[in-house]
């Protein structure tokens, strides 16, 4: 049982480049989330999804896009990388929505540097 799998673990991008952060979960969770964590800071919600075909913006969505074509996968797309997007990105999933007694299961994170 792999849980939540994120790839890649590390990536260095040049300003203006694009990339997709991959996230997959094998727990049949409907809810999936993308967070970013800047040094010494808490987690900020970028986008979330309550099921296949349904996505919505979180607190800091600018510069990112997501899709949810299947229950398992929730990729995060950066179209024009900027230094402000240097961060650690965590994908998470949960059985029920936030606020219910349903813990978030996190992936191991992707450390992204934009130079």
Partner 1 sequence: QKEVEQNSGPLSVPEGAIASLNCTYSDRVSQSFFWYRQYSGKSPELIMSIYSNGDKEDGRFTAQLNKASQYVSLLIRDSQPSDSATYLCAVTGSARQLTFGSGTQLTVLP
Residue with tokens 């607190």: 59
Q: Which of 48, 49, 71, 114 binds partner 1 (CB under 8 A)?
A: 48
CA–CA gap between residue 88 and residue 21 (Å, rounded): 11
User: Does 104 sit near partner 1 (CB under 8 A)?
Assistant: yes
Kindly state the smallest distance separating residue 93's Cβ from partner 1, in Å.
Answer: 12
Would you list the DSSP string of 10-48?
EEEE-TT--EEEEEEESS--SEEEEEEE-TT--EEEEEE
Comparing CB distances to partner 1, the nearer of 45 and 52 is: 45
Q: Which of 28, 42, 62, 115 binds partner 1 (CB under 8 A)?
A: 42
User: Does 8 sit near partner 1 (CB under 8 A)?
Assistant: no
């Amino acid at each position: 049982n792999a849980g939540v799998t994120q790839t890649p673990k590390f990536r260095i991008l040049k300003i203006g480049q694009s990339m997709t952060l991959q996230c997959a979960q094998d727990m049949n969770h409907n809810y999936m989330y993308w967070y970013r964590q800047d040094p010494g800071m808490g987690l900020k919600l970028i986008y979330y999804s309550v099921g296949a075909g349904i996505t919505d913006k979180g607190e800091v969505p600018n510069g990112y896009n997501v899709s949810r074509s299947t229950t398992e996968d929730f990729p995060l797309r950066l179209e024009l990388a900027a230094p402000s997007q240097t961060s650690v990105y965590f994908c998470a999933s949960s059985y029920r929505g936030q606020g219910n007694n349903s813990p978030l299961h996190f992936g191991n994170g992707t450390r992204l540097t934009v130079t």
